[in-house]
Amino acid sequence: MSPTLQDNDSNMTVVVKNGSSPKPDAHSPPIILYPSVNQANLNLKTSQYLFNFGTKFSRDIIVGSRGLYIYTSTGRKVLDWTSGQMSCLLGHGHPEIVSVIAQHAASLDHLFSGMVSPPVLNLAERLCSLLPSSLSKAFFLSTGGESNEAAIKMAKVYTGKFEIVGVGGSWHGVTAQALGAQYHFGRKGQGPLMPGMHMLPPPNAYRNTGLFLTKEGGYDWERELDYGWQMVDHASCGSLAACIVECVQSSAGMHVLPEGYLTALKKHCERRGMLLIVDEAQTGIGRCGSIAAFQEMDATPDILTLSKTLGNGLPLSAVVTSDEIARVCEERDYCFYTTHVNDPLPAAVGDKVLEIVVRDGLVEHSRRMGEVLHAGLKKLQSRYGCIGDVRGRGLMAGVEIVECKEAKTPGLEVARRVGDRAYELGLWANLSTHPSFGGSFRIAPPITITKEELDEGLEILEEAFKSTEGTMPLY
């Protein structure tokens, strides 16, 4: 008998059938772990027991997930266009990932941190073999913030200096050094942050201030970057260690670094004896149409951090650097010793993720599906005046909502209504109405997405814009 979802508020019962195959594919309906829940009661428990860590909790209780879909306690099936928290690169419940988790949970899960296991060695070898030869030494942690914390400490130990430069609009985590180099949100309310932290202007081609324009009226990001470094040099006490940057600034609204920006940034670092750290939490492992986004930007970082996508939703991150940096740091007693460093179970998952991405040609698939996604979003932009900008790379896209196209006034309320309507129709696309996000949808579906699933989501978005007041239809 198939399990059911029971919503005790609406008295609606929805049947969700199990996959009939013993090895269901990643898009088949899930086996619901919580087939009958009282949503009102669980919402009460949410307010009673859960600490609010900086976000509003959704009213819907999620009781299942499979492939590109999540299932709610009210029996709704919702297309997940954010891969959970931008992490489920291969979709929810991928059968090969499930198998690896089960096998290692039973036989090789967690070890003393100084012990080495085959999954860790396999992941390190496979990962380094996919990157430029200068990125040849890796170790594995749990979260993106943790990997950035480790990378910043590595840069400080290697250079013997302590000042870190970040970029406006960035998001690198909430641990001390990562947060200190983060200039999007979360810096207030805790007193002084880490000393020696500096900020470059955010590279925002859509919302550039007008102070940095080319003779033709375009965005002169190079002059803006030079100006930013002049300000850093004025503020610095002469101990610049590293600069950390994202290739696509997701939390800022999916802003892609301008062509040539990363190369110029690397040169600025080299002139000052600094290291370049590239944070590819969301852009890594194929989502932007290359294994790592920096590979198409003509500059290789001194330290690379990966997270989110590497573990397909499990807590797994990586720090990758050169033989030379690894050698010097070891000589200087670099220490980032954690309980779950190089754990075998998540490492086995990461190794399987890389195997599947390469084996199934998902990097190229992501590039092709990205073209479909961006073409569809551009078409929506041509139809609705509230869409001020569409940007991104591969299967990462930002859709910025405005009240006035000419003034580019952020349309936070319109964006909220469109987002709510899309979710009501069966599509989840990440949107924050906090002013710091500027009313931008952040879209990053699993890279296993099919054209049919892309078309389904685009049709839902079309209906959401069509049926929402204030979207300014153009025809």
Does 7 map to a domain?
A: no
Contacts 24+ apart (CB under 8 A), 59-62: 61/34, 61/37
pLDDT of residue 87: 96
Q: Which of 280, 282, 367, 417 is catalytic?
A: 282
Domain boundary among 342, 359, 376: 359
Produce one character per residue of 259-287: b if its CB has 16 or more CB atoms within 10 Å, e if not: eebbebbbebbeebebbbbbbbbbbbbbb
We report the CATH number of the domain holding residue 422 as 3.90.1150.10
- Three-state DSSP state, 309: helix
Q: Are residues 355 and 416 in the same domain?
A: no
Q: Are residues 291 and 430 in the same domain?
A: no
Does 166 map to a domain?
A: yes
Active site residue 279: yes
Active site residue 330: no
Cα–Cα distance measured from residue 239 to residue 255, given in angstroms and rounded to the nearest whole number: 29
Active site residue 282: yes
pLDDT of residue 432: 59
Does 42 map to a domain?
A: no
Domain boundary among 359, 381, 410: 359
Does 284 map to a domain?
A: yes
Q: Are residues 343 and 379 in the same domain?
A: no
In terms of C-beta density within 10 A (0-12 exposed, 13-18 middle, 19 or more buried), how is residue 107 classed?
exposed
Residue-range definition of the domain harbouring residue 243: 97-359
pLDDT of residue 11: 32
Active site residue 308: yes
Cα–Cα distance measured from residue 243 to residue 198, given in angstroms and rounded to the nearest whole number: 9
Domain boundary among 300, 330, 359: 359
Q: Are residues 136 and 236 in the same domain?
A: yes
Active site residue 48: no
Residues in the chain where the model's pLDDT stays below 70: 1-31, 432-437
Q: Which of 7, 60, 146, 171 is catalytic?
A: 171
Q: Are residues 183 and 331 in the same domain?
A: yes
Does 43 map to a domain?
A: no
Q: Which of 80, 220, 224, 246 is catalytic?
A: 246
Q: Are residues 66 and 115 in the same domain?
A: no
Decide: 196 and 373 in contact? Cβ < 8 Å. no
Does 195 map to a domain?
A: yes
Closest CA to 163 of 120, 197, 115, 200: 197
Q: Are residues 328 and 432 in the same domain?
A: no
We report the CATH number of the domain holding residue 237 as 3.40.640.10
Decide: 443 and 429 in contact? Cβ < 8 Å. yes
Cα–Cα distance measured from residue 405 to residue 35, given in angstroms and rounded to the nearest whole number: 46
Decide: 116 and 344 in contact? Cβ < 8 Å. no
- Overall domain count for the chain: 2
Active site residue 221: no
Q: Are residues 353 and 379 in the same domain?
A: no
Does 335 map to a domain?
A: yes
pLDDT of residue 6: 35
Q: Which of 308, 367, 391, 421 is catalytic?
A: 308
- Read off φ and ψ for residue 471, nearest 5 degrees: -85, -5
Q: Are residues 243 and 256 in the same domain?
A: yes
Q: Which of 161, 266, 393, 442 is catalytic?
A: 442
pLDDT of residue 19: 31
Q: Are residues 168 and 236 in the same domain?
A: yes
Q: Are residues 145 and 282 in the same domain?
A: yes
Q: Are residues 457 and 340 in the same domain?
A: no
Cα–Cα distance measured from residue 6 to residue 35, given in angstroms and rounded to the nearest whole number: 7
Does 92 map to a domain?
A: no
Q: Which of 7, 80, 163, 279 is catalytic?
A: 279
